[in-house]
Amino acid sequence: MTADEGAALKRLIVIAAVLCVGCTRPSIPDWEEANPIVPIPEPPLGITSSFAELAEPPTPERVRLGRWLFYDTRLSADGSISCATCHRPEHGFSEPTAVSTGIGGRTGRRKAPSFVNQAWTLYPVFFWDGRAASLEEQALGPVQNPIEMGNTLDGMLVNLSRIAGYARYFEEAFGTPQITADRVAKSIADYERTRLSGNSPWDRWRAGDQGAVSDRVKQGHELFFGKAACNQCHLGQNFTDSSFHNLGVGWDPDAKEFRDWGRYDVTGQDGDRGAFKTPTLREVTTRAPYMHDGSIATLREVVEYYDRGGDPNPWLDPKMKPLRLTEADIDALVALIEALEGEGHQDSPPAAFPR
> Which residues sit at the interface with ligand HEC, rule CB under 6 A?
81, 83, 85-87, 100, 102, 108, 110-113, 115, 118, 126-129, 135, 138-139, 142-143, 148-149, 188, 192, 228, 230, 232-234, 245, 247, 249, 276, 278-279, 281, 284, 287, 290-292, 299, 302-303, 306, 317, 319-320, 333, 337
CA nearest neighbour of 322 among 240, 271, 217, 248 = 248
d(CA 303, CA 5): 78
Q: CA-to-CA distance for 27 and 16, rounded, in angstroms? A: 18
The span from the CA of 146 to the CA of 6, in Å, is 72
> If phi over 0 gives left and psi between -120 and 50 gives alpha, with beta otherwise, what is residue 47?
beta
> How many CB atoms are closer than 10 A to CB 56?
12
Question: 133 and 125 in contact (C-beta within 8 Å)?
Answer: yes
Q: How far is Cα 117 from Cα 320, in angstroms, rounded to an integer?
A: 26
* Residue 168 CB partners (closer than 8 Å, separation 6+): 177
CB of 144 to ligand HEC, least distance (A): 10
Shortest distance in whole angstroms from residue 219 CB to ligand HEC: 13
Q: Which is nearer to ligand HEC, 95 or 203 (CB)?
A: 95
State the minimum distance, in angstroms, from the CB of residue 103 to ligand HEC.
Answer: 7
Report the alpha-carbon distance of residue 160 to residue 168 in Å, rounded: 12
Pick from 308, 233, 222: which is nearest to 278 by CA? 233
Name which of 65 and 149 has its Cβ closer to ligand HEC. 149
CB-nearer residue toward ligand HEC: 33 or 222: 222
Q: Is the peptide bond before 289 cis (omega within 30 degrees of 0)?
A: yes
Nearest CA-CA partner of 92 in 301, 224, 271, 281: 281
Smallest distance from ligand HEC to CB 189, Å? 7
Q: Give the gyration radius of the chain's Cα atoms.
A: 25
Q: How far is the CB of 236 from ligand HEC (least distance, A)?
A: 13
Nearer to ligand HEC, 10 or 106 (CB): 106
Query: Which C-beta is closer to ligand HEC: that of 29 or that of 238?
Result: 238
Closest separation between CB of residue 27 and ligand HEC, Å? 31
Q: How far is the CB of 16 from ligand HEC (least distance, A)?
A: 49
Query: Is 128 or 202 the residue whose CB approaches ligand HEC more closely?
Result: 128
Q: Which is nearer to ligand HEC, 35 or 118 (CB)?
A: 118
Name the residue nearer to ligand HEC (CB basis): 149 or 210. Answer: 149
- State in angstroms the smallest separation of the CB of 23 from ligand HEC: 40
